[in-house]
Structure 1
Amino acid sequence: ISDWMEQAEWISGAHTAGRNAVHHKSNREMDQQSEQWKKINSLVVSTLYSNSVFQRTALPLKVSAAFVARYTSGQAYGKHIDDPVMGTPGARYRSDIACTVFLSDKSDYDGGELTIHSDFGINTIKLDQGSAVLYPASSLHEIAAVTRGVRTVCVLWVQSLIRDTQKRDILAELGDARDALNLQLPEAKVTHSVDVAYTNLVRLWAEV
């Protein structure tokens, strides 16, 4: 990925900002017509789909193409909320979950923290290269100004089978319990009961 990023053409990120966010956004994005972007997009999206934690947490129905964004010294993205519906005509999706995949190591730059504001407080996130974070796309969030180095990330959005954040959280916890029981007590009655409960909750809450 590092070689592809070095070879790629980077254009202003303002053209992909929503109407209210455009005045707060200062970065560069990889040209989505380039071969380098196509390779990175394919690798990142396929890796997410094959990740069991992503599947269990996001319960994805649709996953957007990746926006590969680069922030250099002085660039930032002020407080904003993501657009509720994204995509091109005929390929629309509801943005339930935002996903940031970190392509730069956190030691490669200063500043550039992702800050998420919620009813439960403020979370500031800066992860190792190859790590990812999922959070509700309805959250107010921002990217602090980079003061040294280069911050490069992939940003994607997920339309989940389960629209409601609280219901997704319940299913994620229940899914963890189901997996643990399947490993430790595969033939137990409680394992079967939890599996039935999980399966039928997905059936009850899913929107397809």
Structure 2
Amino acid sequence: MQTIINNLLSSDELQEIRQLLETARWTAGHESAGDHARPGKHNEEMDQSCEAWKTINQRVVNKLYAHPEFHSAALPAKVSAAFVSRCSPGMYYREHVDDPVMGTPGGRYRSDVAVTIFISDAGDYEGGELSIDTALGPIAVKGTAGSAVLYPASSRHQVTEIKSGQRIVCVLWVQSLVRDPAQREILNDLDSARQALRLSAPEAEVTKTVDHAYINLVRMWSEV
């Protein structure tokens, strides 16, 4: 399941982040990749010791946690820090699968859901599509500035080569309360239905039934 969250970041927040990019320090992106993905990773990542990164990380993580669609789709137990990635012409990230367990000793998390937040707009660069492999074939995602895409971290995916312009995104991973992506999709659909019923018929018996079913499925499938 892929979920698009539009307007996660406002235009003012995007402007603030873009100003911070001008003072940031950058390192070779392959340094953060797993062994199998490292040879195919050719990008730059913001140095996480610089002040610009600290501000951007706090901003995007807080915005995710505040968004109801993120909670419905990801059911987060843990959320990683943001990796700020920059791709210029000639850069790419070849097809790979994200490492199943990430983080540092004492702060490990399972990567169930991958999140890409677009800082650059789709028209700012040519190429650079996020291509995600699905059962029906690959889908290409090139989001508008401020939007986010969520997808299973178990998916094979790649970022195609940048032809012109510059692609800047924030990338995070989520350990979900529900590790199975098929179960998360069912819960996301059911949550959408119960939210609609709460608005249209808050006291109806069907609303209470759907709410009851959702709550107990989360109880059945969650790992805490």
Mark yes or no: TM-score above 0.5.
yes
Aligned ranges for residues 38-57 of structure 1 at < 5 Å?
38-57=54-73
Residue 148 (1) aligns with residue 164 (2): yes
Aligned ranges for residues 46-195 of structure 1 at < 5 Å?
46-195=62-211
Once the two structures are TM-superposed, the CA of residue 178 in structure 1 deviates from its matched residue by 0.4
Identity of aligned residues (%): 55
Of residues 46, 50, 67, the one that matches 1:30 is 46
Once the two structures are TM-superposed, the CA of residue 14 in structure 1 deviates from its matched residue by 1.0
List 4+ stretches of structure 1 deviating above 3 A. none
| Residue in 1 that maps onto 2:36 | 20
SS of structure 2 residue aligned to 1:154? strand
Distance 1:105 1:15 in 2: 26
Cα displacement string for residues 134-161 of structure 1 (whole angstroms, at most 9, x for unaligned residues): 0110100000010111100000000000
Once the two structures are TM-superposed, the CA of residue 120 in structure 1 deviates from its matched residue by 2.1
* RMSD across aligned positions (CA): 0.5
| Residue in 1 that maps onto 2:7 | none
Gaps of 5+ in 1: none
Once the two structures are TM-superposed, the CA of residue 119 in structure 1 deviates from its matched residue by 1.8
Distance 2:112 2:62 in 1: 19
Of residues 194, 197, 201, the one that matches 2:213 is 197
Of residues 11, 23, 26, the one that matches 1:7 is 23
Gaps of 5+ in 2: 1-16
Once the two structures are TM-superposed, the CA of residue 106 in structure 1 deviates from its matched residue by 1.0
Distance 1:122 1:17 in 2: 22
Q: Which amino acid aligns with 1:43?
A: R
Distance 1:87 1:118 in 2: 26
Distance 2:206 2:127 in 1: 48
Cα displacement string for residues 91-112 of structure 1 (whole angstroms, at most 9, x for unaligned residues): 0000001000000011111010
